[in-house]
Amino acid sequence: MPTQPFSPLSPRFASKLPDVGTTIFTVMSQLANEHGAINLSQGFPDYPCHPDLLDALTRATRAGHNQYAPMAGLPALRQAIAAKLQRSRGIAVDADQEITITAGATQAIFTAIATVLHASDEAIVLDPSYDSYAPAIAAQGAIPVRVALRAPDYAVDWQEVERAVTPRTRMILINNPNNPSTSIFSAADLDALAAIAERHDLFVLSDEVYEHLVFDGLEHRSVLAQPALRARSFAIYSFGKTFHATGWKIGYCVAPPNMTAELRKIHQFLVFAVNAPAQHALAEHLADPAHWQALPGFFQAKRDRLAPGLRAAGFKLLPSSGTYFQLADFRGLRANISDVEFARWLTIEHGVACIPLSVFHVDGHDAGLVRFCFAKRDETLDAAIARLASLRA
């Protein structure tokens, strides 16, 4: 059937996101497919979920758990999350009033932002930042205010953060561990954040989806464990990241009862309820602490498998304290091209796809860095290392 021509009578509208196009993740994955490249660009595993989780999902579907779940999430799953927080961090959370199951962490982030921000409000974003934050802010008619993390260790200058606060500031967004910088917050960072949030009566959105992916004996510190932050924070988590099931799109938000009540008002009209059988499966899977306690060692081994190959190929590596990403400086290999050009060249000419870091900066700041994902099978990492060896040939 032929496409209908544009009608001059079609309504005109102003885009809420005029600067948003196809994401770099889609672009690089498509380029990898076109050239048969090994895809270390997009952040998803190429190995299966734990068989126990898949078996639990099968049991849930066969038991008839295939209709709508409760709007706030399956009680058994919320109770399992509360038990996990108590066991892993000594944090007491009310499963009924403080936990909401969402359609992935991205929906939780959007919903928390929509709950708080009104037109012309401001929210502080620490750059480089995950690419959903600013569009979610802009979609509310609010304004993202960028504060750059300090290179080379991507630390936060809290004095600069406080200077960015205005009478219109309503929220500060943090990502801990941080994607893409892989840095993590110290106790002093959380104390500084709490002091600013209290002085200016700000909400905090803490994206903690990589909570279990912290390496070298370091500790993940949640806003939920800091009393001053606990009272004003939305803490966001992802089962996709935790249990290698990104396609299930199930996350959750933990927040005080008054904030949760407002968040659920928005949540019910965005998605209402989330995949019911998967919630049953996750509730069962969470009951065994071994399923999440082994994650730091599992991912650190993958980081340490890829890192020597990158160094041997000529990359200079930045510390990777958390997440499942590794930042690499390519300027010793190709000094006179942009990070976007380098990523395309590496994909097309050497068959390994990565992500240029400049896309995470609103101003396109190019520090000669690219990001590799090591959440891949050992065979995939080894094959990528073999291809990258040609950079030194």
Rounded to 5 degrees, φ, ψ at 292 are: -115, -20
42 has pLDDT over 90 = no
Q: Which of 251, 272, 292 corresponds to the end of one domain?
A: 292
Q: 208 phi and psi, to 5 degrees? A: -115, 35
- Is 60 exceeded by the pLDDT of residue 98? yes
Query: Of 145, 143, 139, 144, which is closest to residue 16 (Cα–Cα)?
Result: 139
Residues 202 and 82 in one domain: yes
188 and 83 both lie in a single domain: yes
Q: Do 354 and 374 share a domain, yes or no?
A: yes
Do 56 and 77 contact (CB within 8 A), yes or no?
A: no
Mean pLDDT over each residue of the chain, to the nearest integer: 94
Average pLDDT over residues 103-116: 98
Does 259 share its domain with 155? yes
357, 346, 355: which is closest to 384 by C-alpha? Answer: 346
357: exposed, middle or buried (Cβ count in 10 Å: 0-12, 13-18, 19+): buried
Claim to verify: residue 280 and residue 370 sit in the same structural domain: no
**Any domain includes 10:** no
Closest to 325 measured CA to CA, from 175, 104, 116, 198: 175
Residue 17 within a domain = no
Do residues 267 and 302 share a domain?
no
Is residue 382 a part of any domain in this protein? yes
Residue 30 CA to chain centroid, in angstroms? Answer: 21
The predicted pLDDT at position 13 comes to 74
Residue 1, pLDDT above cutoff 50: no
User: Which domain covers residue 323, as residue numbers?
Assistant: 24-49+295-392
- Find the CATH number of the domain harbouring 212: 3.40.640.10
E strands of 337-377, at which residues?
352-353, 355-356, 369-373
Q: What pLDDT does residue 362 have?
A: 85
**Its pTM surpasses 0.85:** yes
Q: What domain count does the chain have? A: 2
**pLDDT higher than 60, residue 41:** yes
Chain segment 330-351, per-residue pLDDT in tens = 999 998 999 999 999 999 999 9
Rounded CA separation 254/190 (Å): 17
Give per-residue pLDDT as tens, 154-210: 999 999 999 999 999 999 999 999 999 999 999 999 999 999 999 999 999 999 999
Summarize pLDDT for 121-159 with one digit per residue, the tens.
999 999 999 889 999 999 999 999 999 998 788 999 999
pLDDT at 24: 82
Name the domain boundary from 261, 292, 323: 292
Same structural domain for residues 234 and 258? yes
With bands split at pLDDT 50, 70 and 90, how would you rate the model's confidence at 37?
Answer: very high
End-to-end alpha carbon distance in the chain: 53
| Structural domain contains residue 112 | yes
Overall average pLDDT of the 348-375 stretch: 94
The DSSP call for residue 203 is E
- Same domain flag for 274 and 349: no
On whether residue 15 sits in a domain, the answer given is no
Q: Beta strand 169-175 with 122-127: parallel, antiparallel or unpaired? A: parallel
- Supply the pLDDT for residue 94: 98
Residue 4 in any domain: the answer is no
Q: What percent of the chain has a predicted confidence (pLDDT) above 90?
A: 87
**What CATH number did the domain enclosing 321 receive?**
3.90.1150.10
pLDDT above 90 for 262: yes
Report if residue 252 sits inside a domain: yes
Cα four-point dihedral sign 92, 96, 98, 100: positive
Q: Which of 292, 325, 341 is the last residue of a domain?
A: 292
Position 329 pLDDT exceeds 70: yes
Pair (118, 227) in one structural domain = yes
Q: Show the DSSP H helices in the chain as ranges.
A: 24-34, 51-62, 75-89, 95-98, 104-116, 133-138, 158-164, 187-200, 227-230, 239-242, 257-270, 276-286, 290-293, 295-313, 339-350, 378-388
Same domain as 303, residue 204: no
Same domain for 149 and 98: yes
Q: Are residues 45 and 174 in the same domain?
A: no
